[in-house]
Structures are given as C-alpha cells and as structure tokens.
Structure 1
Amino acid sequence: MEQTQAGQGWAPQACTLPTAERPLREAEFDALFADAVTEVRQVAPGRVRLRLRAEPQVAGRAAELAARETGCCSFFTFTLTAAGGELMLEIDAADEHAGVVAALAERARKAVGGRA
C-alpha cells in the first residue's frame, strides 16, 4: 500500500490485488484504523504495532482483513495478539517493503487523529 512514484496507487508491484479493488481495501484499513486503533507505535523499520480496542468483534475484523491482505500481498506479516486484556496488531515486512509499512502507520495515525 505504498504510494508509487507515479502517484497511481498505494500498492507496490508485489501486490496481486486487482487495481480496481485497491481503493476498497484501503478504505477497509482506514475504517479499521479509525474505529479500533487506540495507539500507533513504529517499533522498527518495517514494523508497526497497533493497539486495538480489546473487543471480540475488533479481533475478528482485524484477523479477517489481515488474512485477505496476505492473500494478495504475501510480503506482509500480521500478528494479532490478545493478552492481559489488550489487543495488538503488529504489521511487518522485509526491508524492501518497509516503506509500505510506514505508509500504513501514517494512515493509521491520520485515521485516529489525536488519539494515537
């Protein structure tokens, strides 16, 4: 979901999601970020940790979106962890796709406004 140099979308060449479906997927991420993210933390280049509202519906929604995203963008690794009353979604990718993760983190920060 990285902005290309030509400005024609967010997905890098490695993404197999059809171009027509990419704005819909971006909107799904934006909605999840706006509705459920309470904190955004860049923990390393190419790795971001999102604290989500610890609710079963949020966990299911995040897991379903992550599963669909890895189906077309296999360079992502999503780790959803529920422990101690907290829900975390960690997103990471190899160095060559670190910019994609940074772009997702920035979208999450913008979506949650002053909350993250």
Structure 2
Amino acid sequence: MTETKNLVEGSWVPQACTLPTAEQPLRLAEFGELWASAVVGMERVDRLRVRLELRAEPAVAGRAADLMVRENRCCSFFTFSLITNGGRLALEVAVPAGHVDVLDALVARAVSGGRS
C-alpha cells in the first residue's frame, strides 16, 4: 500500500503526489466542492475502480475534466475517464493496486458529500 500523509485531521494526500504542499489543501477543497455539488450516485465497480455519476451538465463536465487533467499532472497513477452515454455523465477513477488506499479515501470523501 502507498503511504499517505495527513494534511489536516481527516484529509489525505499520497506520498507520490508532486503538487506543492501549500496547494494540496486547495486541491482537496476542489474535489470536495465537485463531489458536494455534482455527484448524484456512486458505484464501486471493483477494488481498483469507482464510477461517480455526475449531474449531466456541460459546466459539470468541464469542471470535472479540468480538475482531472490537473490532478493527473501531480498524481499520474490515477486513470480518469469522463463518460457520457444516453444523457448521463459519469467519471470513472481507477488506480493500480499499490494506490487502493488513495481510491478508498477519495470514495469516502465522495460518500461524505465532499467533506473531509
């Protein structure tokens, strides 16, 4: 498992993250805001992958895509897929086995409505 480090009580960032430490709480807040405002459903597809159903709106798709591109620059182990099908919008997030703890933390944050 990947080691994680606490930023503040209840939040996480993987040791592999290259985002400057000062920017990490801001990025966590961006994830929290997206999860709180746009996630309408979630399915844990398997141990290494989760599918978050988002509000099917162009602005939500744009925000999610922008955040995922920026996140992938500092945490390249993530695989993000933004999927539209039949008027629905979903974000799939996958990780290699060594980073399942990071996915677990991301899922916990989504379940809590974006709160730490």
> For residue 70 of structure 1, what is the aligned residue in structure 2?
72
CA distance in 1, matches of 2:42, 2:22: 28
What is the aligned counterpart of 1:111 among 92, 98, 113? 113
Question: Normalising by structure 1, what TM-score?
Answer: 0.89
For the pair 1:53 / 2:55, whether they are aligned, the reply is: yes
Cα displacement string for residues 4-24 of structure 1 (whole angstroms, at most 9, x for unaligned residues): 3x6346121211001111100
How many angstroms apart in 2 are the aligned matches of 1:101 and 1:112? 14
Inter-partner Cα distance in structure 2 for 1:3 and 1:75: 14
Mark the runs of 5 or more structure 1 residues left unpaired by the alignment: none
Q: Given residue 35 of structure 1, which amino acid in structure 2 is its aligned partner?
A: S
Return the offset for 1:39.
0.6
Q: Is the 8 A contact 1:52 1:87 kept in 2?
A: yes
Paired with 1:43 and 1:73, the residues of 2 have a C-alpha distance of 21
Q: Per-residue displacement from partner, 1:93-113 (whole Å, max 9, x unpaired)? A: 100001101110110010169
Q: Normalising by the residue count of structure 2, what TM-score does the alignment of the two structures yield? A: 0.89
In 2: Cα distance, 1:112 partner to 1:12 partner:
18
State the percentage of identical aligned residues.
54
Aligned to 1:7: 6
How far is the alpha carbon of 1:3 from its aligned partner?
7.8
Q: Alignment length, in residue pairs?
A: 111
Matching residue of 1:24:
26
Q: CA RMSD in A?
A: 1.9
Instruction: Pick closer, same or farther for the CA change 1:69–1:106 going to 2, 3 Å.
Output: same
1:80 partner letter: L
Runs (4+) off by over 4 Å: none
Separation in 2, partners of 1:42, 1:35: 20
